[in-house]
Amino acid sequence: MNIAVFASHGGSDLQAIIDGCKNNQINARVSVVISNNGNSMALQRAEAEGIPAYHLSANKSGNEEALATEILDILAKYNVEMIFLAGYMRMLHISVLEKYNNRIFNIHPALLPKFGGKGMHGMNVHTAVIKAKESETGVTIHRVNAEYDSGEIVAQTTVPVLKNDTPEILAARVLDREYEFLVEVIGDIVNGYKVSDKNGTLLCTNIKGIDRSGYHIPISQYGDGIETILTKEQYQANCYKVGGEEC
């Protein structure tokens, strides 16, 4: 599977994904990296790994529509099947969201739906978690839609908040888990398995063969964690979202 990674700054999550692919933890490859920041470390990391890297922005393209066209052209050029937003500080244009519906994922350094939305990124999130006196925080990987941090939650993992934590200390603890977790979850998505909730409970299974990142079936019907190949009609008839809600 060809993955495009979008990143705006340091690219440490990008590096974790690249390393996961190289170590065969993720059965895929990062085929292209896109950043809206020409000075981002993410672009430098990509170039160091021999991965095509592009600085694309509305300022360079002229407007949002032109930017979206450029993005789609590049994604098509590298036969991208999945997009992962690894610290990408822009909302994607609706044309990109529609083209890659259900195949765009984002990582967020908290347990959504708490501490999400516009402006909730980086240290702002960890400061808010501490201010709210939460006993735990974590990492969420979710599908991307037209609203900040509101897409379907794919997987979550928890990280404790300790008594004397500062935002910086908490951020470092979350980031340590984040690197491992995103590799685990992307590996599961690529392999066609639906993963777990924040407590590690397997919610449902994503079936290979039709849309590896779209439909799900309930475990109770087809077995805990067992991959089942369905026809298109069976697939659609047994389509479930996380938690067992019908699609």
Residue found under tokens 């990582």? 107
121 is catalytic: no
Q: How confident is the model at residue 66 (pLDDT cuts 50, 70, 90)?
A: very high
Residue 246 pLDDT level (bands cut at 50, 70, 90) = very low
What gap in Å lies between CA 47 and CA 69, rounded to an integer?
A: 23
DSSP 8-state class, residue 15: H
Q: Which of 82-91, 97-106, 113-122, 231-240 is predicted least confidently? A: 231-240
Predicted local distance difference test score (pLDDT) of residue 192: 65
For residue 188, pLDDT beyond 90 = no
Query: Residue 80's pLDDT is what?
Result: 94
Question: What are the helix and strand counts (H, E) for the chain?
Answer: 9, 9
- Give the whole-number percent of the chain exceeding pLDDT 70: 77
* DSSP type of residue 67: H
**Is residue 51 within 8 Å of 80, Cβ to Cβ?**
no
Residues 6 or more apart in contact with residue 232 via CB below 8 angstroms = 210
* Per-residue pLDDT band at 212 (split at 50, 70, 90): very low
- Choosing from 9, 93, 108, 142, which is the catalytic residue? 108
Q: How confident is the model at residue 177 (pLDDT cuts 50, 70, 90)?
A: very high
CA distances 49 to 15, 33, 41, 53, 128, Å, are 9, 11, 12, 10, 36
Q: Are 81 and 146 in contact (CB under 8 A)?
A: no
Average pLDDT of the chain? 81
Residue matched to tokens 């978690």: 129
Confidence (pTM): 0.78
Mean pLDDT of 198-203: 44
H-type alpha helices, 23-106 = 41-48, 58-61, 64-77, 94-99
Q: What is the mean pLDDT of residues 139-156?
A: 90
